Structure 1
């Protein structure tokens, strides 16, 4: 059973937005204050693509196949996870937090784990596999406390 001690950071993120929250009280009644917000402009792939997918000759006579175009939207999501991991590393290295709770969808948690530095992973006390970025702070407090209790 993990507890959100005073000073613990709770990072609530999806693939485009991250809320950095710090617990000002104890684990019995967490009071999370916003320390920082990171957001990424990430329009849909269709808006980012410059042209339609290419085509190539197939081995058969008169046959052609479509080529997959780069999914810019998906690339930006992966880049956001890498950027977030970098921010967490810099903050951990500065001693800004001693314990960390990560709250994100399972897919985003997976991306973060790939990029996360050992100095940060050593500080993780709990992970919550839910997307809560659009919830109010008081709702996040209740949900996170319930999940890690």
Structure 2
């Protein structure tokens, strides 16, 4: 007996799942894209940020802030609590997150993988808006900012079917 015809035709195409890979440290951020298993990864040229962080002493040349001593009532100089070098690095990461967020709002990718050295990775986790956090499918705590696309693909084999 022949099967009844159905409304489904084989011509319907599944939407491809786009995965973006953010590879960053405090001075470099690049994004790569993967369009599915066996497709490899390609650089997303629209999102590549670079900066050069000066030494901490060169970033904040003002005299130390003034503190207060309750014991003798005399003001004493002390070093600022935050390192300006680290502050500049965090600002750079915020710019990278803002660029990703802008693309995500336009539904530019479905999933996200973060690749960064441990400290930068922790800071990225804290900065990501909830919408981006929900897209994370994996993380690598390595500095791969200088890796080529094929080298990066090798590192991602455990996280993504490249």
Normalising by structure 1, report the TM-score: 0.79
Match of 1:15 in 2: 26
Query: d(CA) in 1 for partners of 2:78 and 2:93?
Result: 27
Q: Return the index of the structure with the highest Cα Rg.
A: 2
**Which moves more between the two structures, 46-55 or 9-18?**
46-55
Change (3 A) 1:6 1:56: closer
User: Is 1:100 equivalent to 2:109 in the alignment?
Assistant: no
Higher relative helix content: 1
Change (3 A) 1:6 1:32: farther
Taking only aligned residues, the RMSD between alpha carbons, in angstroms, comes to 2.6
| Unmatched runs of 5 consecutive residues or more in structure 2 | 1-15
CA-to-partner distance for each residue in 1:39-64, whole Å, 9 max, x for gaps? 12311112223245467686889xx9
Match of 1:42 in 2: 53
Write out the 4+ residue segments of structure 1 that deviate beyond 2 Å after TM superposition. 51-61, 146-149
Change (3 A) 1:66 1:31: same
- Residue 102 of structure 1: SS of its match in structure 2? strand
Superposition deviation, residue 124 in structure 1 = 0.8
Aligned residues: 142
Normalising by structure 2, report the TM-score: 0.73
| Unmatched runs of 5 consecutive residues or more in structure 1 | none
Match of 2:9 in 1: none
